[in-house]
Structure 1
Amino acid sequence: MSRKEDYPLVSIITVNYRQAAETLKMLKTIADSGYPNLEVIVVDNGALSDKTVAYREAYPDARVIVCKRNLGFAGGNNLGIKAASGKYLYFLNNDTALTSSSIMPLVEEFEKDESLGAASPKIRYYYTPEIIQYAGFSPIHPYTGRNKAIGKNQKDNKEYDCIMPTYSTHGAAMMVSREVIEKVGMMHEGFFLYYEELDWCAAIRRAGFEIRYIGDALVYHKESASTGKQSPLKSYYMTRNRILFMKRNFALPQFILFYTYFTFTVLPKELLKNTVKARFNNLKAVVNGFLDGLWRPA
């Protein structure tokens, strides 16, 4: 029988933002993974009170970092990185649920290939568990700033039970090696919320590492539990950070073409859609995100 020490240490890092009930549910699923050598780090971001006792009831060995400031997704995960000891760091949204294949297939792929820098499992929707959310990402188009989630909203018929290169991991569930973080650095905290993993993956590729989708691994995701599917907060950061990502990762001529497209195609469409649906707070958030994305330094 293999010993715990025979397996590389994996640090699970999850960030909670005033969604303790969701985080507790997620922690209780960690045992389902069956992986024998784990450390679990909960970053309680923008905490109003210390819920360490509750988290440890759900997962007794959890290390809890209570942060009274809201540092956002990137800042919260970076706190977890600083505390982690694992050879591999597994970033999981607090609204995910683990399965018996959530960890081991990822670790096995990393152990086989030192060129692998980051990887994500197949992600299916928690409430419609046969439907895929993510089976890899296509590249970002240099002029539209758009890409596609491969397999999204398709029934899982095992077509994506494979390992393949992907443009980016998915922020809900992504494993990164410690070696990569030491070479590339942590997530860029200027994003605060959304696009951090895309930006991080761009830096990882530039450092010469590969990014893969591991279809033998599976995680379920409830999606947008913290921000809401149509919240002004999400509208603001998705708008601002799309612009910021393009500014940081594409050459100036490409960015100018992207910004022209965004200004005269995407922005009018978003303004019209939110006006027709009387989502005036979202409308304001889109405008503010557009302006802040233009002027915010990369």
Structure 2
Amino acid sequence: MIQCTQDTAVVILSYNGRKWHELFLPLIVSEAHTGYDVVVVDNASTDDTLAYVQNTFPSVKTLTIAVNRGFANGYYEGLKQIQAKYYILLSADFEVTHGWFPPLLNAMQRYPGLAACQPKVRYWREREYFEYAGAGGGFMDKWGYLFCRGRIFNDLEKDLGQYDDDIEVFWASGGCLMVRADLYHKMGGLDAELYAHMEEVDLCWRLKNAGYKIGYIGQSTVYHVGGSVISYGSPQKLYYNFRNNLVLLLKNERASRLLWLIPLRLVLDGIAGLQMLAGGKFKHFTTVIKAHFHFYGSLGKWLKRRKEAQKLVTHRNEAGIYPKSAIWQYFALRKKTFPKLEWEPPKLN
């Protein structure tokens, strides 16, 4: 068990991540004086990553997961062994900036009911642009599709300071997620069964269903390399995106909406798959089919997960749900940026 000396533990899950630690750990460690401990959770690396961290950064605390069962499971197992008031789940391929931490801590202390928050996430390779993994805060449309300010599906906005505010969102990026440790454990933590992708959305939704708020803090900035674990556009990423989106809907949505939403998603996802097939992406098409077959084939398991999640529902906080279809706005009406949606999320208070 790791007992942190500071209230906050910045927890970095690492698998063969030495190259990222060489690049990004020096600044993370040098900024630790602003009020956090650094913990590297080695997810059964097969190289010398753990030894490198221990020898190069003696102030960094480390622990090891014996068997790598994916991103979500790595954090699920690791965080059970770390005692702190707040966790920041920070992916190894994130670069922090000077002064990144205080705005996040101030937000957690300032806003009542705030369970978790994220900073602004920009693209490491094209640094003036937002990045896919959270961008300017995460939202969900009325049909259960996810998008962000600064990134609607495949279009990234340039950061011109338009999202420097503090707002309430529906979900915060799991790549750099600050969360109250007691609530994290009370809500059951990340669902290890999801393996990777959308596990943070599932956690945020459970927190929202218990009446808490999720925030975006625009005065803190980090940069994400992106695609370092599962590459963008790969069939593997596509599989988890389609399957896990269905899982988190089944686990967390109102029963009255599920009766029509899941069949609708079967149709809409089918249309998306046919578009991939028409574009010559046969492997992507079969991946969408596989994701649906695996979801329905494991329906009993997911229904048990729903039963567990629904026990935690007290007062549903639905701030951050876009009341229209983001799919329709983007593909049919060609609204490629967040301002064109003509909808404003609530400010944090």
In structure 2, the partner of 1:102 is 100
Residues 114-123 or 42-51, more deviating: 42-51
In structure 1, the partner of 2:323 is none
The equivalent position to 1:256 in structure 2, one of 255, 259, 283, is 259
Letter in 1 for 2:138: F
- Paired with 1:122 and 1:196, the residues of 2 have a C-alpha distance of 19
Flag the 1:175–1:30 CA change in 2: closer, same or farther, 3 A: same
Cα deviation per residue 1:238-272 (whole Å; 9 max; x = unaligned)?
Answer: 11101101111113342232222222222232244
Letter in 2 for 1:290: H
Cα deviation per residue 1:10-44 (whole Å; 9 max; x = unaligned)?
Answer: 11112123343224323223035354332222222
Letter in 1 for 2:269: V
- Paired with 1:58 and 1:271, the residues of 2 have a C-alpha distance of 51
The 5 Å alignment of 1:172-251 reads 172-251=175-254
Shift, 1:291, TM fit: 0.9
Residues 158-167 or 22-31, more deviating: 22-31
Q: Is the 8 A contact 2:32 2:38 kept in 1?
A: no
- Paired with 1:27 and 1:279, the residues of 2 have a C-alpha distance of 40
Q: Is the 8 A contact 1:19 1:226 kept in 2?
A: no
Flag the 1:233–1:244 CA change in 2: closer, same or farther, 3 A: same
Flag the 1:71–1:22 CA change in 2: closer, same or farther, 3 A: same
Cα deviation per residue 1:36-70 (whole Å; 9 max; x = unaligned)?
Answer: 33222222224224532211344322223333422
- Paired with 2:206 and 2:263, the residues of 1 have a C-alpha distance of 25
Q: Is the 8 A contact 2:243 2:291 kept in 1?
A: yes
In structure 2, the partner of 1:147 is 146
Q: Is the 8 A contact 2:208 2:214 kept in 1?
A: yes
Letter in 1 for 2:276: K
TM-score, normalised via structure 2 length: 0.76
Q: Is the 8 A contact 1:92 1:171 kept in 2?
A: yes
Cα deviation per residue 1:89-121 (whole Å; 9 max; x = unaligned)?
Answer: 000111100111321110111122342110000
> Taking every aligned residue pair, what percent have the same amino acid on both sides?
23
Flag the 1:91–1:268 CA change in 2: closer, same or farther, 3 A: same
In structure 2, the partner of 1:71 is 69
User: Could you list the runs of 4 or more consecutive aligned residues of structure 1 that deviate by over 4 angstroms after TM superposition?
Assistant: none
SS at match of 2:192: coil
Say whether 1:135 aligns with 2:136: yes
> Please, what is the CA RMSD of the aligned residues?
2.1
Q: Is the 8 A contact 1:44 1:67 kept in 2?
A: yes
Cα deviation per residue 1:112-156 (whole Å; 9 max; x = unaligned)?
Answer: 234211000011111111112311122x234x2213201222221
Shift, 1:279, TM fit: 4.9
- Paired with 1:196 and 1:239, the residues of 2 have a C-alpha distance of 13
- Paired with 2:44 and 2:277, the residues of 1 have a C-alpha distance of 29
Letter in 2 for 1:150: R
- Paired with 1:50 and 1:274, the residues of 2 have a C-alpha distance of 42
In structure 2, the partner of 1:3 is none
TM-score, normalised via structure 1 length: 0.88
Say whether 1:167 aligns with 2:170: yes
SS at match of 1:14: strand
- Paired with 1:271 and 1:81, the residues of 2 have a C-alpha distance of 41
- Paired with 1:194 and 1:260, the residues of 2 have a C-alpha distance of 22
Flag the 1:77–1:290 CA change in 2: closer, same or farther, 3 A: same
Flag the 1:291–1:35 CA change in 2: closer, same or farther, 3 A: farther
Letter in 2 for 1:217: S
SS at match of 1:148: strand
Residues 57-66 or 196-205, more deviating: 57-66
Cα deviation per residue 1:222-251 (whole Å; 9 max; x = unaligned)?
Answer: 112110012222111111101101111113
Q: Any gaps of 5 or more consecutive residues in structure 2?
A: 303-349
Say whether 1:40 aligns with 2:42: no
Q: Is the 8 A contact 1:22 1:94 kept in 2?
A: yes
